[in-house]
Structure 1
């Protein structure tokens, strides 16, 4: 009877941007796997960004969601439920919630979940699935192939997500702390790109993904080897994947960039003035979120414990308003960049093993 069980990501109003919608979508997917239910996509039919075209859903999907909720019992899984059942990995919290609501024995229900709470770590188990949804979307493959033809595989690719559009305009650096959906200064992107270009002496290219007008990006790109995606139609999904595939990512302070960093395994740069500084000696985006406190099991306590073990690996580098990028970030990007010459399965070669390695 699993076809009478549904997991539905709630859409607020007429819908939000792709990064916002993907968080409850991922949560609903994981709930469906746990409960033997059918996971539904968000109701994209009313979204002005027309995401229904990308994911093959109906323009009337919102009517279907409304009908399901009218016909079947609705069980809402909220942030308070998540925290009450331990927080952390959402699958563990959902398991406790399912026991509480007897969902495993109920034949028919709609589990609904909405909101951007929980952070990316709580939906880690859905990372691969969400990437596959993006890759299989209608326009992604063709756009990614076109971008691939524009990029030089021998250079380090730095993805710059320059979000402008409906964001609040750039402001004084001191006013960015803890803020989201605010455009970063274009001059900061320029300083970051110039710092990278100078250190890598031409062995770099910049992939600029932006909703800004071309004339707004002229000063940023002047004198730099840049590739743009702005001319590609229907690039919402392909732009996100292209940023995730870059060797180094320069983020905007948006959920879209958060998803790009989440889907990527490469290092990324974050605007330093946006971060909270904590007395424990750490920086964070969401300093107020449960689980980051310096309590037993909290993020800060865990990091402090790791410091005594050895050097902490890191992917994220906070970059000050002066835009100076550390050599450590660039070295890591080069180390992680795959090169055909040293990859056996790509007709590459590796150094011969020493006697100890061979044994």
Structure 2
């Protein structure tokens, strides 16, 4: 029934939800709630569900329907299923063809910054930044994306390229696209899954405040930017997306002490809060360059056939 027709991507019956609802009426139902999740330690679903299953003798009983809902576990809930989610998306009907088209448009030697700009079905851009705090599904100011792009170009020069994934029209995106020479995917049909994977494959991801961007960040191993006004700022010196979930406030919220190295520097994770001025961590540009250089095909022994001899190895062979 979803207007985006996601069933087409995975070859599933359009009306399989009818069967799913019917079996809840025909078979015994076991409900797994957030309270059960937290009572058994929270964190990863597999670890938290195992004692619940033992408690309800699920391993030995006959057919039943397990019902759970909500995002209360967050992406940590399904961390062990990351590879399964990635492979399922890649094997979807249109993904491989579209990803090949995207790869042909990108320069593999350049740092790819993937930007997800959600506009079409989101609410209008608020006039006050405070309206973003703790709220999803609001369009972000295009100026935020453009400021980040300008800052990255200033730092990286012609070493950077931009991949922009959006549901907006060219007219809506013109303030961002003008003079940026960005790669877009708006002309690719059925690009839901391929857009998600293309963003996940970028060297740096600039997120919208949406579950689509959050999923791309979950599938990615690269750093990603999040809109700072959307985050909850806590007095102990950290940000969170929601700020009110028990699993965060009681179990997983970091402290300044936990975020510090022995030398007193604050450790930066993959998720980076970026304000309207587009301020990014120091050394990010040099880190991106170093990582891209390391991954270049011509530096890969099994892909290119040669690698440089390290100075200490050269000295040993000379002796």
Q: Same fold judged by TM-score > 0.5?
A: yes
For 1:67-216, list aligned pairs within 5 A. 67-171=22-126, 172-216=128-172
Q: Which runs of 5+ in 2 are unaligned?
A: none
CA distance in 1, matches of 2:99, 2:244: 37
Partner of residue 278, structure 1:
234
1:220 partnered with 2:176: yes
Partner of residue 2, structure 2:
47
Q: Residue 146 of structure 1 aligns to a residue in which SS?
A: helix
Partner of residue 65, structure 1:
20
State the shift of 1:113 in Å. Answer: 1.6
Partner of residue 191, structure 2:
235
* Contact 2:38–2:247 (CA under 8 A) maintained in structure 1: no
State the shift of 1:206 in Å. Answer: 0.6
TM-score by length of 1: 0.82
1:320 paired residue among 258, 265, 275: 275
State the shift of 1:348 in Å. Answer: 5.3
* Contact 1:188–1:321 (CA under 8 A) maintained in structure 2: yes
CA distance in 2, matches of 1:357, 1:61: 67
For 1:316-355, list aligned pairs within 5 A. 316-337=271-292, 338-347=295-304, 349-353=306-310, 354-355=312-313
Q: Residue 304 of structure 1 aligns to a residue in which SS?
A: coil
State the shift of 1:222 in Å. Answer: 0.9
Q: Residue 305 of structure 1 aligns to a residue in which SS?
A: coil
For 1:16-35, list aligned pairs within 5 A. none
CA distance in 2, matches of 1:348, 1:245: 25
- The 4+ residue runs of structure 1 with deviation greater than 6 A are none
CA distance in 2, matches of 1:330, 1:120: 27
1:305 paired residue among 258, 269, 283: 258
CA distance in 1, matches of 2:305, 2:118: 38
1:247 paired residue among 194, 203, 226: 203
Query: Which of 231-240 and 303-312 deviates more?
Result: 303-312
Q: Which runs of 5+ in 1 are unaligned?
A: 1-45
Q: Residue 234 of structure 1 aligns to a residue in which SS?
A: coil
Aligned length: 310
State the shift of 1:211 in Å. Answer: 0.3
